Amino acid sequence: MQNLLGTVFTGLITDENNHAYFVQKDGITFKLAKSEGEHQLGEAVEGYGYVDQKQDNRITTNIPTISQGHYGFGEVVATRKDLGAFIDIGLPDKEIVLSIDELPTMRELWPKKGDRLMVAVTVDDKDRMWATLADETIFKAISRQAKNEEDFKNKDVIATAYRLKVIGTYVITDDFYLGFLHPSERYIEPRIGEVLKARVIGIGPNGVLNISVKPRAHEVISDDAMMILTFLEKSPDGRIPFTDKSTPEEIQLTFAISKGQFKRALGSLLKQRKIKQEDGYTILIKE
């Protein structure tokens, strides 16, 4: 049965009950849920073979993109320290396990629920289906090469971490460009499978994007600016009766900072369009 699990094949409907059709292939019977559509006895049906959580042989006509030899992104739904990561690849009543052997040795770098991993299906000699991670050759095969740096410089990207190394983190963007995150351009090391919001800071000679998850200089929020945002967020109507025209004494009494610090903080928030000033008030701009 090893060659039928995690693959697409055509079988023959030989029987049915109230809930399922029974599809035979190479002398092995698979259940096909009637909720997937109407069929007739003797009909040939194409589907994807797997073993569900109850250890029943199943076939589904809602065919996942991930199979034996075919890689795709699956979503992590849970992890277990003695087993590995459970990945949803689109099968009814079935997650595929990525073995602990393929995960980082440091638990804090394991994926979390909602992260995504590029995997294919493997089947062992006991007919158990497992996920296996795509290696570097797969990512290179599916990726595009960045060429003109002016097209990418300072561009925002969404990228998934797929390889963790001492020298940095390798990622692939949503539009399939490979990228590299140097330790100096991050605050903490990303998890494998973590989806990152980043920006392009350059292109390597091999066409790999150099990215950063640190904010642009003008996006950095100072402690003073963060304090003002906190005041605004806690205000019932999202406004405070202070502007850059307020007196130093008023500012010192309320915020315990100088007017110069207050004006610099307001200036950075105005540039980032997080606030506006009207009629003697500073007003929070809600996203």
User: Residues 143-179: pLDDT tens digits?
Assistant: 998 988 888 888 999 999 999 999 999 999 999 999 9
> Residue range 101-107: average pLDDT?
96
Provide the domain count of the chain.
Answer: 4
Give residue-wise pLDDT tens across range 31-63.
Answer: 999 999 999 999 999 999 999 999 999 999 999
Residues 243 and 191 in one domain: no
Helix, strand, or coil (residue 71): coil
Report the pLDDT value the prediction gives residue 219, as an integer from 0 to 100. Answer: 64
Burial 188-224 (b: 16+ CB within 10 A, else e): ebbbbbbbbebbbbebeeeebbbbbbeeeeeeebeeb
Res. 26: pLDDT tops 70: yes
Give residue-wise pLDDT tens across range 186-240.
Answer: 988 999 999 999 999 999 888 999 999 887 765 666 788 888 988 898 888 999 9
Domain end (from 188, 212, 236): 212
Report how far residue 155's alpha carbon sits from residue 202's, in angstroms, rounded to the nearest whole number.
Answer: 10
Burial of 263 (0-12, 13-18, 19+ CB in 10 A): middle
Give residue-wise pLDDT tens across range 242-269.
Answer: 999 999 999 999 998 999 999 999 998 9
CATH of the domain at 225: 1.10.10.10
Please indicate, yes or no, if residue 66 is contained in any of the structural domains.
no
Over the chain, what is the mean pLDDT? 93
Domain end (from 60, 89, 104): 60
Helix, strand, or coil (residue 91): coil
What are the phi and psi torsion angles at 207 (to 5°)?
A: 80, 10
What are the angstrom distances between the C-alpha of 12 and each of 21, 24, 38, 68?
A: 10, 5, 14, 22
Please indicate, yes or no, if residue 65 is contained in any of the structural domains.
no
In 3D space, the residue among 50, 46, 72 whose CA is nearest the CA of residue 172 turns out to be 72
CATH of the domain at 189: 2.40.50.140
Report the pLDDT value the prediction gives residue 121, as an integer from 0 to 100. Answer: 98
User: What's the whole-model pTM score?
Assistant: 0.75
Contact 229, 221 (CB under 8 A): yes
Domain housing 160? 143-212
Report the pLDDT value the prediction gives residue 147, as an integer from 0 to 100. Answer: 86
Pair of tokens at residue 36: 């997937």
In 3D space, the residue among 6, 191, 19 whose CA is nearest the CA of residue 110 turns out to be 191
CATH of the domain at 22: 2.40.50.330
Contact 109, 95 (CB under 8 A): no
Report how far residue 173's alpha carbon sits from residue 158's, in angstroms, rounded to the nearest whole number.
Answer: 6
